[in-house]
Amino acid sequence: MGPLEGLGYGFSIALLPSNLFACFVGVLVGTIVGVLPGIGPVGAMALLLPSTFAMQPATALIMLAGIYYGAMYGGSTTSILVNVPGEAGSVVTLLDGYQMTKKGRAGAALTISAVGSFVAGTVGVVGIMLAAGWLADVAIRFGPPEYFAITLGGILLLSRLSGGSILNAFVMVALGLALGTVGMDSISALRRFTFGSVQLAQGIELVPVIMGVYGVAEVLLLAEEGIAKAQIASVKLRELLPTPEEWRRSTMPIARGSVLGFLTGLVPGPAAVLSTFISYTVEKKVSKTPEKFGTGMIEGVAGPEAANNGATAGAMVPLLSLGIPFSPATAILLGALVVHGLEPGPLMISQRPEVFWGFVASMYIGNLMLLILNLPLVGVFVTVLRLPQHVLATLVLLLCLVGAFSLSNSFLDLWVLVIFGVLGYALRKLRVDPSPMVVALVLGPMMEKTLRQALFLTRGSVVDLVARPLSATILILAAAALLGPPLVRLLRRGRVPQPLPR
């Protein structure tokens, strides 16, 4: 099926009433959690995952992905109006977005960021159509050594990019990999690290871990503040229209942000957040007035807001064509597909076209819905911010508890939720990003399986394992990304004389 034919087929799936409804619910929930500081898309996706078990796989994917990209729209609203990021992908937006609000241009900032998000979302969907098909064709030839190289390389790159110290990121990776070995060994059926518990033989479930790290931990941070009321700037509908000058200045940043965002999304790492920083830096570099950034430059809103939406689309490519998630959000999407017995990977596009193309088409529809939800109705979502935070926080905790239990009616999942909630809170206090742990928990079992299969194939030769052209290329690229920056720094330090200590 060619891209156009596939897309036509996809629309026939996405326009089914059940899928349209799922898409609407997804983007609506996404916008709300995006607007609300403290509750991010990943936690919300984990919370709603159990409710998708009864759905068709395409419908489940459409709804959960809607939350993910919907949050990128909602997040900017809070950044611009309240000077608090609604979610991590909108941190950069507040630099210039809130300054625009102070100058009375909040409406323009909101419109530009919604339109930028829409353009990037649409560009991203075209990107998925082209890239995922191509990558799937290549990936059909991959064997266990290549998959091992991709998972290992992905984890290494993720540790490099997750921000903070690489040592901390590696500690998180080690923790995630170790947790991934708990339970029944998939090859020898031996029970590992279960201490006689029948429930632990199933392994540590991803969803309560994510609910804990991204749900409970965030609420505990909110709990620190107790009752807090946000100061919200009000926006009148007629102020929403940007001036022709503002439109003109935003065009190129949106275009650049869309492409940059999509490309960042393809790389393992916290793509949505990273892409906004990259886009902001690029806009500042190409600007004739870089010193004015941070004082309410529309370019500083347009670029990053486009970039984070492009990145959410880009992140779908490795998931859909290789079956490998490189972020906590795509790990949940993988979980949703696996529950339905689907194996995302190079064959999914041809074997289950209704899932792939239905999903791609739904992203077009979802982005259109989001444009409508986030422009004329922006005022409605802002009222969400007036809800008392402490009530909301408590109810989210209760939802996490009952949601974790309902996954498999197990008390173990409840304890996993609480333990990882406390761990996630401690990590945030120490400024350590937990996402390498979450991704390693998902990729670990994949890595073990492919490593053991590959060693079996090469009769135990590690050289044969890493010397195959594709796996060697992937591993060299990952090693270059990992060791490159510190090496460059080291070389520079050798050349440039060190300033004398004062």
- Minimum CB separation from other proteins for residue 219, in Å? 7
Q: Tell me, what DSSP letter sits at residue 269?
A: S
> Long-range contacts for 422-430 (Cβ within 8 Å, ≥24 apart)?
422/212, 422/216, 422/217, 422/220, 423/212, 423/213, 423/217, 424/212, 424/213, 424/214, 424/216, 424/217, 424/218, 425/216, 425/217, 425/220, 425/221, 427/172, 427/213, 427/217, 428/217, 428/221, 430/168
* Binding letters toward other proteins, positions 397-436, x by CB under 8 A: xxx-xx--xx--x-x--xx--x--xx--xxx-xxx-----
197: left (phi over 0), alpha (psi -120 to 50) or beta: beta
Residue type for position 292: K
- Minimum CB separation from other proteins for residue 225, in Å? 7
Count of residues touching other proteins (by CB under 8 A): 63
Nearer to other proteins, 282 or 400 (CB): 400
- Minimum CB separation from other proteins for residue 447, in Å? 8
Nearer to other proteins, 79 or 159 (CB): 159
* Binding letters toward other proteins, positions 172-211, x by CB under 8 A: -xxx-xx--x---x-xx-x-xx------------------
* Binding letters toward other proteins, positions 314-343, x by CB under 8 A: ------------------------------
Footprint of other proteins on 238-257 (CB under 8 A): none
Question: With contact defined as beta carbons under 8 Å apart, do 144 and 155 qualify?
Answer: no
| Spatial distance between the Cα atoms of 307 and 148, rounded to a whole number of angstroms | 30
Footprint of other proteins on 438-497 (CB under 8 A): 444, 447-448, 451-452, 455-456, 459-462
Q: Tell me, what DSSP letter sits at residue 214?
A: I
DSSP assignments along 143-186, one per residue: -HHHHHHHHHHHHHHHHHHTSS-HHHHHHHHHHHHHHHT-EE-T
Q: Give the residue from 201, 204, 165, 220 showing the smallest Cα distance to 422.
A: 220
Task: Determine, following the binding rule CB under 8 A, whether residue 386 of this chain makes contact with other proteins.
Answer: no
- Minimum CB separation from other proteins for residue 173, in Å? 8
Provide the β-strand partners of residue 184. 191
- Minimum CB separation from other proteins for residue 206, in Å? 17
In the complex, the residues that contact other proteins under the rule CB under 8 A are 51, 165, 167-168, 170-171, 173-175, 177-178, 181, 185, 187-188, 190, 192-193, 216, 219-220, 223-227, 388, 390-391, 393-395, 397-399, 401-402, 405-406, 409, 411, 414-415, 418, 421-422, 425-427, 429-431, 444, 447-448, 451-452, 455-456, 459-462
